[in-house]
Amino acid sequence: MANKINVLADKCVGCGLCANNCPFGAISMQERPDHPRKFKIAVIDANKCTFCGACIESCKTFKAIEMHKEEVKSGVDKSLYRGVWVYAEQRHGEISSVVYELLNQGSVLAKALQVPLSAVLIGSNITAKAQDLIDRGADKVYVYDDPVFIEFQDDPYSCILTSLIEKEKPEIILMGATNIGRSFASRVAAKIYTGLTADCTALDIDLETRNLLQTRPAFGGNIMATILTPRHRPQMATVRHKVFKEAKVEKGRKGEVIVNTVDASKIISRTKFLGFIKDASASVNISDADIIVSGGRGLGNPEGFKLIAELAELLGGAVGASRAAVDSNWIPYSHQVGQTGRTVAPKVYIACGISGQIQHMVGMSSSDTIIAINKDKECPMMQMATYSMEGDLYEIIPAIIKEIKKSRCAI
């Protein structure tokens, strides 16, 4: 039985509580002049309704709304599901770098399970990009190339990916934990009645059960939880940018490209794309920086970031920050590194006055070289660092800056 929701005309008094409490704007109040007391009636837009039940709760006095939800299957025949998929997110024809990171880890999972690694590419005039995915390790690329997909919209994209999943039955699907991935993955998971683990920092396989071991920070980052989806397939996870290294390019690698046709008339979109406005406010993209100099609570005041910025500029790097510094309004959120900020993996990460809470460590632990400057030699960051400098950062950093300037003058 499909999901159904109805307004009982004889019970609705037109109070409007359901419309006011609907988080999706799916309910409107309409006139009904033929009613003896001129009551309005609630009308539910089936294309907007998500069957969340908020209207049922708000109408418990009058019981004027009935909802019947499709019974969710308690399990599936897992033997029917095989293969590891990576959703190849793209924007304006450019594949996101997180896709190449997922292909790298996806190949590890696929080899462990002895199954092919596939990518799913959706867009407009995008077919030529399929070879880039094969060069990075995909054995097979499913392509949907149609003008209806020229800009990302949740409904068309989730509709087409859901239908492909139901047809091909992969056992694992990986997506980037980007703005698009976070919005998109949850919709797909809900449509196919499976679980989704967000913001994973590690992925592994239990070979005995073929369960995906999905590790992510939990309870505010105080513990690392490993989550399983034992009774449903596919198993879905989103992964942050820079958690894994990018897959290496193997030019000319052989793979299969499957171009699927789209019946655009059957794709319903509840939103209209008006235009794309590029964010020009962010002056620095720390996610792509090779060198990052970060400041934390140990700076003592916002003026300390002038010193951090000077060192970063001399090194040709970017300025980062801990959550404590951002929460203190010392520096904008766009610089925050960590679980609730950006995940980074530069060649060199310099942590100045950062003790190393797990929430911060999650966001920068993949850095090639970590340099810590702190008075507390026992703090986690000093213990984790490749090189540790114990002492007052207001003495150490100026000394480093002086030496850099001296060496450049000598040249």
Write out the H or E segment, with its range, that includes residue 143.
Answer: strand 140-145
Dihedral sign from CA coordinates of 266, 270, 276, 281: negative
82 touches 127 (CB < 8 A): no
- Inter-CA distances, 221 with 199, 241, 324, 363, Å: 11, 17, 14, 11
φ, ψ at 248 (rounded to 5°): -75, 150
Residue 397: burial class (beta carbons within 10 Å; 0-12, 13-18, 19+): buried
- Beta-carbon count within 10 A of 179 CB: 11
Q: What is the set of domains in the chain, with CATH numbers?
A: 4-68 (3.30.70.20), 78-264 (3.40.50.620), 286-410 (3.40.50.1220)
pLDDT, position 281: 46
Whether residue 234 is preceded by a cis peptide bond, meaning omega within 30 degrees of 0, is yes
Dihedral sign from CA coordinates of 219, 221, 224, 229: positive
The torsion region of residue 103 among left (phi > 0), alpha (psi -120 to 50) and beta comes to alpha
pLDDT, position 410: 60
- Inter-CA distances, 38 with 15, 64, 183, 219, 389, Å: 12, 17, 41, 52, 78
Which candidate, 146, 66, 83, places its Cα nearest to that of 118?
83
pLDDT, position 74: 58
pLDDT, position 411: 54
Q: Scan for tokens 């392509």, then name that residue.
A: 143
pLDDT in tens, 208-252: 999 999 998 777 666 788 999 999 999 999 998 888 889 999 998
Question: pLDDT 10s digit of each residue in the chain, 411 long?
Answer: 568 899 999 999 999 999 999 999 999 999 998 888 889 999 999 888 988 899 999 999 999 999 988 765 556 889 999 999 999 999 888 999 999 999 999 999 999 999 999 999 999 999 999 999 999 999 999 999 998 898 888 888 999 999 999 999 999 999 998 888 888 899 999 999 999 999 898 999 999 999 999 998 777 666 788 999 999 999 999 998 888 889 999 998 999 999 998 887 777 777 787 777 765 544 557 878 899 999 999 999 999 999 999 999 999 999 999 999 999 999 998 899 987 788 888 999 999 999 998 889 888 888 999 999 999 999 999 999 999 999 999 999 999 999 998 887 765
Q: In whole angstroms, give the CA distance from residue 33 to residue 12.
A: 14
* Residue 213: both structure tokens together: 């071991």
pLDDT in tens, 262-306: 887 777 777 787 777 765 544 557 878 899 999 999 999 999 999
